[in-house]
Amino acid sequence: MFKLAKKLTKKDVLFFLFSIVFIVLNVWLELKIPDYMSEITVLVQTEGSLMSDILKEGIFMLLCALGSLATAVVVGYLAAHIGSSYAKTLRKSIFNKVGEFSAAEIKSFSTSSLITRTTNDIRQVRMFIVMGIQMLIKAPIMAIIALSKIANKGIEFSIITAVGVVIVLILITILIIVVLPKFKIIQTLTDNLNRITRENLTGIRVVRAYNAEEYQNARFEKANSELTETNLFTQKAMAIMSPVMSTIMSSVSLAIYWVGTYLINEAAMLDKIEIFSNMVVFSSYAIQVIMSFMMLVILFIIYPRASVSAKRINEVLETEPMIKDGQIASDTTKLKGVVEFKNVSFKYPDAEDYILKDISFKANQGETVAFIGTTGSGKSTLINLIPRFYDATDGEVLIDGVNVREMNLEYLNNKIGYVSQKAILFKGSIKENISFGVSKKGKPALKKIKEAIKIAQGEDFVLNMPEKYNSEIAQSGTNISGGQKQRLSIARAIAREPEIYIFDDAFSALDYKTDYNLRKELNKYTKDATKFIVAQRIGTIKDADKIVVLDSGKCVGIGTHEELLKNCRVYQEIVSSQFGKEAI
């Protein structure tokens, strides 16, 4: 929590100091009001007081009330500003940090966790700050000022108030001990319930096919009961809080009056009036003292949640991305699109086993290099080393003779047109999606965009959409089909006119015919670019200049389709699995 305080801007800190001043003022004015109240009471009670006196005191009291309102408004404004501005800064910091992350960090946090950290966790911290400013500062100030007003006004009264405070503290402590751990359990149980419902929904066909409705309902009911029981327990426990609080407050007043009666009766004549006025003052301030202690304790209840959130935010902010930017930002040779892997091995930072082991090959300008192998053989990981989603653990990846690690990332990215296995589109028009990002040649013109979509076999369906190239794509592209998404994401890569294309299993979502036509057009258009294709279907890669066959992270064959058919057993197996034995 405190580490995060560094993120406060100078203005926030200034506002924070201001708000302390205003809170002191506010509390002072607020506690002034009872004084005027008792003045007015005395005046009204005393026979023959002047109306003007009452009015005067009344106006003073109203002024105090107005002042306290005004200061409270100012404090409210300052708190709202600090909280929101702080949330804004934090959000930006996390967003930037995640932007710097490499795929490894994203994977280790998981996307959904990063999203929660950027949204929910920040909201928790913000809530704590807004409430904290108002309560954490206000409560002690209030307690101090109230205590100073009632100090030396009767030890008996003080003891009564102290007893009230102690009871409140004990009650809250017990509640915290009993209830707080349950709150954590409730979170897990709610997650459980959600999970079971989600499972039922995602597997709805399986559930129905197995006639397993009752089975699912029983699982749900179990989680439902557990959740309800725990919820009920905490709510029953918390239900005692408010009645006990109000009883304590009333009882303290009553006790002060009651005890006061005896004190007055026993006191000497002269002291009687003083004790009486002390008693009246005490009863109004004692409640303030108890209230301020309560506010503090409530903060302690909120604090753990905010602190957990702060910790989660810190984790993100303190993670150093593994990928470090390089220096080289301009061409050093005449080579274009020559990619070489030299004895490349890769494993995840904490993993024991290598995912890729000792891979070497070279792709010349304009060549197509394809990768094939079983799931988990390391195909995707291999080509992810080119745009530096990860860095090779051993060996080097060279583009035009330069190690990718030494290249400036923007410069490196400008060479690459990347299409992922799962098509990723963004909210915005089709045009905006195709011209996404920055490339060496700047934003593509509309003509270029149309051309790219045409090559990617997307023209038909785009022209069929109501707004054509200006049609809106919904968030994550949910309003078009998977195949259409994939064609647009391929078009996006084409529009960049890169030197190196990377297709990470990008053709699987297309049917054979579209796949075929697309590759035909693409080859015509991108003669000079080097292409890397990861694929499952032999048909997709058959004509590649080089096919790299991977098996458990090792390269078990490099060559053309015909060569591999002759001398690579794994390749033969893959081919026969797809076309039958006679194909070999």
Partner 1 sequence: MKKNKRKNAVSNEEKPKDFKVAIQKLLKYNKSYVSLIIIALILSMISSILAIIGPDKLKDMTNVITKGLLTGIDTDKIKSIGIVLICFYAASLIFNYIQGLIMAIVTNKFSKNMRREISIKINKLPLAYFDKTTIGDILSRVTNDVDTIGQTLNDSIGSLVSSITMFLGSLFMMFYTNWILAITAIVSTIIGFVLMATILSRSQKYFSNLQKEIGNMNGHIEEVYSGHNVVKVYNAKKEVDEEFDLINERLFINGKKSQFYSGLMPPLMGFIGNFGYVAVCVVGALLTMNNVISFGVIVAFMIYIRLFSQPLTNIAQCLNELQSTAAASERVFEFLEAPEMADESNKKIILNKASVKGNIEFKNIKFGYTKDKEIIKGFSSKIKAGEKVAIVGPTGAGKTTIVNLLMRFYEIDSGDILIDGISTKELTRDNIHNLFTMVLQDTWLFEGSIKENIRYNQDSVTDDEIINACKVVGLDHFIRTLPKGYDTILNDVDSLSAGQKQLLTIARCMVLNTPFLILDEATSNVDTRTEILVQEAMDKLTKGRTSFIIAHRLSTIKNADLILVLKDGNIIEQGNHKTLLEKNGFYAELYNSQFENACE
Q: Binders of partner 1 among 479-538, rule CB under 8 A?
A: 481, 483, 489, 492, 496, 510-513, 515-516, 519-520, 523-524, 536-538
| Identity of the residue, 173 or 478, whose beta carbon is nearer to partner 1 in the bound complex | 478
Residue 317 sits in the site that holds partner 1 (CB under 8 A): no
Segment contacting partner 1 by CB under 8 A, of 37-45, 152-160, 309-317, 398-406: 37-45
Residue 184 lies near partner 1 (rule: CB under 8 A): no
DSSP readout, 155-220? HHHHHHHHHHHHHHHHHHHHHHHHHHHHHHHHHHHHHHHHHHHHHHHHTHHHHHHTT-HHHHHHHH
The total of other beta-carbon atoms located within 10 Å of residue 432's CB is 17
Q: Judged by CB under 8 A, does residue 202 bind partner 1?
A: yes
Distances (CA, A) of 131 to 134, 280, 302, 376: 5, 31, 9, 50
CB contact at 8 A, 399 and 515? no
Q: Is 401 exposed, middle or buried (0-12, 13-18, 19+ CB in 10 A)?
A: exposed
Question: Per CB under 8 A, does 282 bind partner 1?
Answer: no
Hey, which residues between 142 and 181 contact partner 1 (CB under 8 A)? none
Decide if residue 304 touches partner 1 (CB under 8 A): no
Which of 269, 333, 353, 442 is close enough to bind partner 1 by CB under 8 A?
A: 269
As to burial, measured by CB atoms within 10 angstroms (0-12 exposed, 13-18 middle, 19+ buried), residue 573 is middle
Q: At what angle do helices 122-136 and 10-45 cross, to 10 degrees?
A: 40
Min separation Cβ 241 and partner 1, Å? 9
Q: For partner 1, which residue of 20, 169, 249, 322 counts as binding (CB under 8 A)?
A: 249
Residues 203-242 within binding reach of partner 1 (CB under 8 A) = 203-213, 215-217, 219-221, 224-225, 227-228, 231-232, 235-236, 239-240, 242
428-457: contacts with partner 1 (CB under 8 A): 436-439
Residues 532 to 571 in contact with partner 1, rule: CB under 8 A: 536-539, 542-543
**Identity of residue 439:** S
| Nearest-approach distance from CB 54 to partner 1, in angstroms | 5
**Strand 339-346 versus strand 394-399 pairing type:** antiparallel
Spell 476-506 as b/e; 16+ CB within 10 A means b: ebeebeebbbbbbbbbbbbbbbbbbbbbbbb
Dihedral, CA of residue 217, residue 220, residue 221 and residue 225, to nearest 10: 180
Dihedral angle sign, alpha carbons of residues 498, 500, 504, 510: positive
When binding is defined by CB under 8 A, the residue of 23, 146, 382, 574 that contacts partner 1 is: 574
Give the number of residues in contact with partner 1, rule: CB under 8 A.
158
Q: Identify residues 67-126 at the interface with partner 1 (CB under 8 A).
A: 68-69, 72-73, 76-77, 79-81, 83-85, 87-88, 91-92, 95-96, 98-99, 101, 103, 106, 111, 114-115, 118-119, 126
Instruction: Report the nearest approach of partner 1 to the CB of residue 236 (Å).
Output: 5
- Note whether 66 binds partner 1 by CB under 8 A: yes
CB closer to partner 1 out of 338 and 510: 510
H and E: helices and strands count for the chain: 21, 12
| Binding to partner 1, residues 372-431 (CB under 8 A) | 373-377, 387, 389, 409-410, 413-414, 416, 418, 420, 424, 426-427
* Two tokens, residue 168: 């409140």
